[in-house]
Amino acid sequence: MDDIVRQAMAKWPNVPDCYGWLGLDARGNWYMRDDRAQAAGAFDSGRPGAKGSLLRHDKLIDFIQRNYEHDAQGRWYFQNGPQRVYVELEATPWIWRVQADGTVRAHDGVAAEVQRCVLDETGRLYLQTERGLGLVHTQDMAQAAELVESGRWAPEEEPQAGLPQRYGYVRSPQRDSPQGGRGG
């Protein structure tokens, strides 16, 4: 976490949490979700406009990713100064990119060690690492298939619906928020 964020938290300790305004999609892209996007539906609903606006500013994305954490309930958030901005997850808290040598890096660029490989009923591949569970990026599935075929990864089948509870993450903190699913 950035020092400036820690300082802001100390200076303003009672800032209310924010829900629904930030999302991470299944390809590791960040989205800002204004009132219109939230009114269009849940982040993972697939409804037109529900995802919001794709963030493209590299320094903002880097700031978010440096200050991306989770709480004891498995809700992921971005610590924006003194305010926690809870993140809506389209899939998982991490999106893994498979490197040419078979190692993996998260959407934030940080390397991780694969501990377990999971395949759901739809054919999506997930990796458990010391950082948590994440989905393999769709563009890396050919490389991932080679790693499975070579025996380096041995997928275990698990139903998609049970992954959040089993691996300790919440896809939509907004649905359970004190504000009844909106705002912050």
The burial class, CB within 10 Å (0-12 / 13-18 / 19+), for 81 is middle
Residue 181 scores a pLDDT above 60: no
- CA dist 95 and 93 (Å) reads 7
Distance, C-alpha 46 to centroid of its chain? 17
The Cα 131–Cα 111 span in angstroms is: 10
Q: What is the largest CA-CA distance in the chain?
A: 53
pLDDT in tens, 154-177: 999 999 999 999 999 999 999 876
The pLDDT score that the predictor gives to residue 184 is: 47
Q: How far apart are CA 35 and CA 21, in angstroms?
A: 8
The pTM is what? 0.89
pLDDT at 138 over 90: yes
pLDDT at residue 178 tops 90: no
Contact 30, 24 (CB under 8 A): yes
Q: Where do the DSSP E strands lie in 71-172? A: 76-80, 83-89, 94-98, 104-106, 111-112, 114-119, 125-129, 132-136, 156-157
pLDDT score of 11: 63
Tokens (6 digits) for 156 = 């275990």
> What gap in Å lies between CA 97 and CA 29, rounded to an integer?
13
pLDDT at 107: 97
Give the pLDDT mean for 55-76: 97
